[in-house]
Amino acid sequence: MYLALALLAVVSQALAVEQIEPTVSFQGRPIRFANREHPYYLGSSAMVPIRTVCQAIGAGVRESRDSKQWTILRGADRIDCSPGTPWFTFNGVRQTLQEPPEARDRNLFVPLSMLQAISGSGLEIKAIYGSSRETSIFYLNRLLHYKPEDAPFHQFGTVYVSVRATAGFIGAKVDTRGEGARLTITRSRDKLVYELSSHWFSFNDAQRALRAESIIRGKTVFVPIEIFQAFLGQELCSR
């Protein structure tokens, strides 16, 4: 039994690594990274090596002698940041970061969102969740970063998203009280009711059909993305 649990832990860790492999591109061209420079996720922030990405976007990087101060210059724009500090200044204006820059293997990794501030446009990241689960979900043209257990996936032509994670991204509430097989999702004045494993749902009391039913993986409930698109239309989409 202990051996089985150990093997399960190893497999789970391997899947987690496979599911989180962010790839970065600038103006549609992938940025290539050396072995010790591969981007990674820290919390919900995609962390990228500062020098390689800055070189790709045409920005210069300056490092202080003690490596505690870093400056990025691109045209008339300037960013100042420090390892371990959860904020940076962009043209003198302080902006907060979800995660601070982090020193790894003599490289400084910074949140991609910080470099997007100075890149102008075209600096994008795509989250790859394994060969059989590759998809990216965007809300208002921003990539949503899911935890490994909540990673969206395609199955038989349908895009599935985690109920609770996606509801959190769009500011909706999920209620499963009463009957465990029924989900009630509310957002502002809109209300959606869905019976698990069914091919229909009601949105503001109007019944709508689904091409596919819900799927449960572990403790996570996944539903077709159309359920959340009832609230948002194509503001929420997959690419």
pTM of the model: 0.51
In the chain, which stretches have pLDDT less than 50?
1-20, 129-133
What pLDDT digit, counting tens, does each position of 33-70 carry?
988 888 887 766 788 999 999 999 999 999 999 999 99
Instruction: Output the pLDDT for position 120.
Output: 79
> Which fold does the domain 134-238 belong to in CATH?
Copper Amine Oxidase; Chain A, domain 1 (3.30.457)
Sign of CA dihedral 18, 8, 164, 234: positive
What pLDDT digit, counting tens, does each position of 215-231 carry?
988 888 999 999 999 99
**Residue 36 has what DSSP assignment?**
G
Instruction: Output the pLDDT for position 106.
Output: 84
Phi-psi region of 78 (alpha: psi -120 to 50; beta: other; left: phi over 0): beta
> Which fold does the domain 19-125 belong to in CATH?
Copper Amine Oxidase; Chain A, domain 1 (3.30.457)
**Residue 21 has what DSSP assignment?**
-
- How far, in whole angstroms, is CA 236 from its chain's centroid? 13
For 59-128, the DSSP string reads -EEEE-TTS--EEEEETTEEEEE-TT-SEEEETTEEEE-SS--EEETTEEEEEHHHHHHHH-S-EEEE--
Instruction: Output the pLDDT for position 228.
Output: 97
> Where along the chain do the CATH 3.30.457.10 domains lie?
19-125, 134-238
Instruction: Output the pLDDT for position 28.
Output: 83
Instruction: Output the pLDDT for position 136.
Output: 85
